[in-house]
Structure 1
């Protein structure tokens, strides 16, 4: 009896892995832009190449409020709703607090966050 149970578990595991092997691995990245010129959704999507090793999903989000409190609230809500592997953040402010908050969130969640514009892109002093 025990041998039959083990055999069924092995068979079930092999079938599950073979189905997973048919689908390419995926990567989910959020792009949050605030107070920046509007960027079209198609401009953010990567070009699909033949034989691409990853299926990249880009979630584009435009925000109006980029103060640190609203930014942190919006970011936490997004991370709780969506499984993300990385984040690109750009805003139109010169607030260094935004970069510090993004650094804190990245260190606590182990999620890479790239600041590309405004306060999010400010260089912080070494700790």
Structure 2
């Protein structure tokens, strides 16, 4: 009986841990056949750098509404590190859901409703070209 109880508790714990784990899906489109060793640091930027660079991959990700944007960017950075990128050019493609004003039926007035944001990013993983 004890063995069954311990197996049941173990199974439920494992099921709970798996069901709570949520990973963001990333679509990766490699732009070069060359593979690079993973990098330690990745610079995040929102505009292309002035230095010459080589595009090695394009990354796309989106998540459920309410997910912090920083969480998605950190997931992109981790993937860029795996690809051997030295920098990441990030483009915010987040969309808003809802309208800022909604008609209140009881008083005939407009109420303000906070808009919800669905975070989405497109990023280009790059390596600098040495001169």
TM-score by length of structure 1 reads 0.29
**TM-score scaled by structure 2?**
0.29
The higher-RCO structure (CA 8 Å, 6+ apart) is 2
Structure of larger gyration radius? 2
